[in-house]
Structure 1
Amino acid sequence: MGERKRIGVLTSGGDCAGLNPVIRSVVLRADTYGWEVLGIRQATHGLMSDPPQATVLNPKDMNPLLTAGGTMLGTTNKGNPFAFPMADGTLEDRSEEIIRGYHQLGLDAMIGVGGDGSMAILRKLAQQGNWNLVGIPKTIDNDVGVTERSVGFDTAMNIATEALDRLHFTAASHSRVIILEVMGRDAGHIAISAGIAGGANIVLIPEIPYSLDKVCAKLKERQEQGKTYSLIVVAEAVKSVGGEAITVTDGGGECRLGGVGQHLSEQICDRQVADTRVTVLGHVQRGGIPSPLDRLIGSAFGVAAVDLIAAGEFDRIVTWQNRKVVSVAIKDAIAHYRDVDPYGTLVKTARGLGIYLGD
């Protein structure tokens, strides 16, 4: 069976559906090698603690994780360890504390599950601290370069599509324009995919500039054709009419994307085009039971990541390409940002269906 190893697994960045199936897959595959898996709590914050916050993951406890949303290990998307915010307002490099935690646990390798930002940080820690690192891509935004699929995207897209399915009926009942604002950070993957699958009439994504006058003209055209209601999907990174990013500030003072749906609603109402309502899905897209596809992708990624460790292949990330799991260098995966191709299949499909993209 070979030398017994101890490997760590952590989830970093924003949560999403499919993380628990990844953890389950890592543990079950490692068990076939006779290895022990430690789950690191709260991402790198768990390694920063003294002693490190880690739990031995028992294969016998893994089955309920297949359908569980979120991450049993917890996660964080705050606090860059190389410039960590301290209580006095200063920034401190705490990378050595995290590196020490890895070695204190006696790990032979680490599997990091995260998006491009998390992967960049984990890779820097690994290089500095002599870690054996393997990555698994996860993000509802589906914007990690190279891979066609990231864990979490399918569930988020399904939730947005279901919202559209429901909004059709209330929009039709009141002859309204309903705007659905979805997440996606700087990419429009959720918006364009859900817009097609959910039968939206207008989809606005950050990759394609839009004209509000043309959007209003399209709404009027639909009214003149006897189409009494319209559904608009807008990605959160779509800018204002004036070209500025629209953001909201939370109770903790953090500024994040959000509010473009309400901005569009006000602009359309000001032009007296239609009665509008806005639905903002927000973190609903991150929660819930993972879709079968996210369970499948997460399981395949977990097995492949453990197999990379067995083969002694590190500084690599597993990806989904042409219906196969293929590993690539982490630096190559995060070097290429994957937004929506304005000339790609999804955009061509949307246009072919008569969905208006704002330009």
Structure 2
Amino acid sequence: MRVGVLTGGGDCPGLNAVIRAIVRKGVQEHGFAFTGFRDGWRGLLDGTARPLDIASVHGILPLGGTIIGASRTNPLAAEDGVDRIRETLAREDVDALVVIGGEDTLGVANELVERHGIPCVGVPKTIDNDLSATDFTFGFDTAVGVATQAVDRLHTTADSHMRVLVCEVMGRHSGWIALHAGLAGGADAILVPERPFDVDQVCGWMDSRFRASHAPVVVISEGAKPSEGDLVVKDASTDSFGHVRLSGIGDWLAGEIEARTGHEARTTVLGHTQRGGTPSAFDRWLATRFGLHAVDAVRDGDFGTMVALHGTDIVRVPIADAVATLKTVPDVLYEEAGVFFG
């Protein structure tokens, strides 16, 4: 049996760990052969592929990024996309696909399984941790670690200059990174997409910290927005899945704080540093286990499923369940963090 592997969407710490586990177990225990498709779904559209064997995955466990590339290509946006995928699979003699990605990438996999009968097994990947049906996605722990270290560092420079520092982190629709890093880093305000924020209330929190002789640090998700306002976007262009480019809310908020309170405010945008570089130990562990169980699902012919973490167990769930709704920050967790605001 020959199995195709692709990594779609943005790069993410732990992708190489998944690839390594899939290939090692698939070759050693199941006798499979593997083909890696370049740059996510684009590789299946364009027919660009490379062989994956045990030698090719040696030493990649601690590496960030992905050795087979990634892109935000949506093959279903092309009129002949499904036909081109079938042609590539036939030409490469591939019997099944392991699809590693987030909501958009796995949404395509679910469509291919349910409507076109193309056998796929999913592996959940996103630093945003917003995929339903799994407790955690790999990449999230690394992103939180990077963001927490940044918040720790910002506290010292904020106090040195007695200015507000706003740290913008990733999170289009969900505020998991902001919540975890903000709470772990002792942020004085955490602003997430799930809860539109009142700018005057945020300014009140800032004034409260200055009265206590401390300079405040704010952690804000890129998808957060004021209660009276819209998302801040870089431009009006969209990717092939219809997403606009976010980022800019941190600068906007810093300007509002400075104008309304008179306190100097600056912004740090962490951007791609959150998903680049070597994965944490937890993400290597989780990604490896996902890979081992994904290749077993292929062996069992259990297509249309995604591996997921439930407690400490790796289970299989329908891909459809994972992409039906996003996993967002519940009110109870946000209210826990609110004790430390202001």
Coarse TM-score class (shorter-chain normalised): over 0.9
Is the contact between residue 196 and residue 226 of structure 2 (CA under 8 Å) also seen in structure 1? no
Gaps in structure 2 of 5+ consecutive residues: none
Report what 1:329 is aligned to. 318
Map Cα deviations across residues 146-176 of structure 1 (whole Å, 9 max, x no partner): 1111121111111111111111111111011
Q: Share of identical aligned residues, percent?
A: 38
Deviates more, 1:299-308 or 1:61-70: 61-70
| 4+ residue segments displaced more than 6 Å | 250-254
Matches within 5 A, 1:305-320: 305-320=294-309
| Residue 136 of structure 2 is aligned to residue 146 of structure 1 | no
Report what 1:82 is aligned to. 76
| Residue 26 of structure 2 is aligned to residue 37 of structure 1 | no
- The Cα of 1:128 is off from its aligned counterpart by 4.3
- The Cα of 1:114 is off from its aligned counterpart by 0.7
- The Cα of 1:231 is off from its aligned counterpart by 0.4
- Out of 28, 37, 50, the residue aligned to residue 55 of structure 1 is 50
Is the contact between residue 219 and residue 273 of structure 1 (CA under 8 Å) also seen in structure 2? no
CA distance in 2, matches of 1:212, 1:251: 27
- The Cα of 1:188 is off from its aligned counterpart by 0.3
- The Cα of 1:241 is off from its aligned counterpart by 5.5
CA distance in 2, matches of 1:222, 1:129: 57
- The Cα of 1:117 is off from its aligned counterpart by 1.3
Report what 2:15 is aligned to. 19
- The Cα of 1:40 is off from its aligned counterpart by 0.9
Name the SS for the 2:327 alignment partner.
coil
- The Cα of 1:61 is off from its aligned counterpart by 3.1
CA distance in 2, matches of 1:209, 1:42: 35
- The Cα of 1:196 is off from its aligned counterpart by 0.9
Report what 1:177 is aligned to. 164
Report what 1:231 is aligned to. 217
- The Cα of 1:107 is off from its aligned counterpart by 1.5
When normalised by structure 1's length, the TM-score is: 0.90
- The Cα of 1:324 is off from its aligned counterpart by 1.0
Report what 1:89 is aligned to. none
| Residue 65 of structure 2 is aligned to residue 70 of structure 1 | yes
| Residue 269 of structure 2 is aligned to residue 280 of structure 1 | yes
How many correspondences in the alignment?
338
CA distance in 2, matches of 1:67, 1:217: 44
- The Cα of 1:225 is off from its aligned counterpart by 2.1
Is the contact between residue 197 and residue 226 of structure 2 (CA under 8 Å) also seen in structure 1? no
- The Cα of 1:129 is off from its aligned counterpart by 4.0
Gaps in structure 1 of 5+ consecutive residues: 85-91
Q: CA RMSD in A?
A: 1.8
| Residue 255 of structure 2 is aligned to residue 261 of structure 1 | no
- The Cα of 1:121 is off from its aligned counterpart by 1.0
Deviates more, 1:164-173 or 1:55-64: 55-64
When normalised by structure 2's length, the TM-score is: 0.94
Report what 2:229 is aligned to. 243
CA distance in 2, matches of 1:349, 1:270: 29
